[in-house]
């Protein structure tokens, strides 16, 4: 089973992906996480990507698509993949379909988590992430409730960058909702609920 998670930054894609990994045993492929790891390791890709990420802009498609191809070649991807934060525009969606055609795979569902812009801005400005295990929490978590690690604020969760990321989402990524509706794999989910309730809606769809 291969799933695409759609939704604005802060809609809850990462949180739901973690729950889905546990329940369905799929590989979690987050281009944001892969890019942040490259930035932290100081690789050539990381150096190229950092400026775009700090500004809330999309990293060039060619970089992200080669990152995805490499990730899909890893053994764990054969058990099925949850794409989180990819594709981000139509070109990436077409590239993914083409790669999947070559691999004999398909997207089984695109889950679009819907949330109002005001709620998103509030969530993102209060979001804190664990440096050690990647847990996504909030200012309410002084330390990571899962592993006790240090919680930090992502550089791109600052007010100006948040606004730009939302603009980029509306312009480049939101059109993918129609793209996947056209492919008859789209499911829309209300994201303005407790994560467990959102996850229940996902399980109702995926079984
Ligand atoms: P995310 O963790 O998904 O919010 O991504 C953080 C940042 O990484 C984004 O604001 C972009 O700069 C970059 N990024 C992540 N995924 C992609 C993608 N599929 N295409 C281009 N840039 C991406």
What's the pLDDT tens digit per position in 79-129?
999 999 999 999 999 999 999 999 999 999 999 999 999 999 999 999 999
Nearest residue CA, atom 14 of ligand 1?
32
- Distance between Cα 1 and ligand 1 center (Å): 23
Q: What is the pTM of this model?
A: 0.92
User: What pLDDT score does 160 carry?
Assistant: 83
Ligand 1 pocket check for 83: Cβ under 6 Å: no
pLDDT tens-digit readout, 158-195 = 988 999 999 999 999 999 999 999 999 999 999 999 99
Tell me whether residue 13 is one of the annotated catalytic residues: yes
Question: Can you list the alpha helix ranges (DSSP code H) found in 1-72?
Answer: 13-24, 31-41, 44-55, 61-72
Ligand 1 pocket check for 4: Cβ under 6 Å: no
CB-CB contact of 12 with 118 (8 Å): no
User: What pLDDT score does 9 carry?
Assistant: 94
């Amino acid at each position: 089973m291969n799933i695409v998670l759609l939704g604005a930054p802060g809609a809850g894609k990462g949180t739901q992906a973690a729950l889905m990994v546990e329940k369905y045993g799929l590989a979690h492929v987050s281009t944001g996480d892969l890019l942040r790891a490259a930035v932290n390791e100081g690789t050539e890709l990381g150096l190229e990507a950092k400026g775009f990420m700090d500004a809330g802009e999309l990293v060039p498609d060619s970089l992200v698509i080669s990152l995805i191809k490499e990730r899909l070649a890893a053994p764990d991807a054969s058990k099925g993949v949850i794409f989180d934060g990819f594709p981000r525009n139509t070109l990436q969606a077409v590239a993914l379909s083409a790669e999947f055609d070559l691999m004999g795979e398909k997207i089984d569902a695109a889950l679009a988590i819907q949330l109002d812009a005001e709620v998103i801005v509030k969530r993102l400005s209060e979001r804190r992430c664990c440096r050690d295990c990647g847990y996504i929490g909030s200012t309410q978590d002084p330390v990571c409730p899962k592993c006790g690690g240090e919680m930090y604020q992502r550089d791109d969760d600052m007010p100006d960058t948040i606004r730009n990321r939302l603009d980029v989402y509306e312009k480049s990524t939101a059109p993918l909702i129609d793209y996947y509706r056209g492919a008859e794999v789209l499911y829309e989910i209300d994201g303005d609920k407790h994560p467990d309730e959102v996850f229940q809606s996902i399980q109702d769809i995926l079984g």
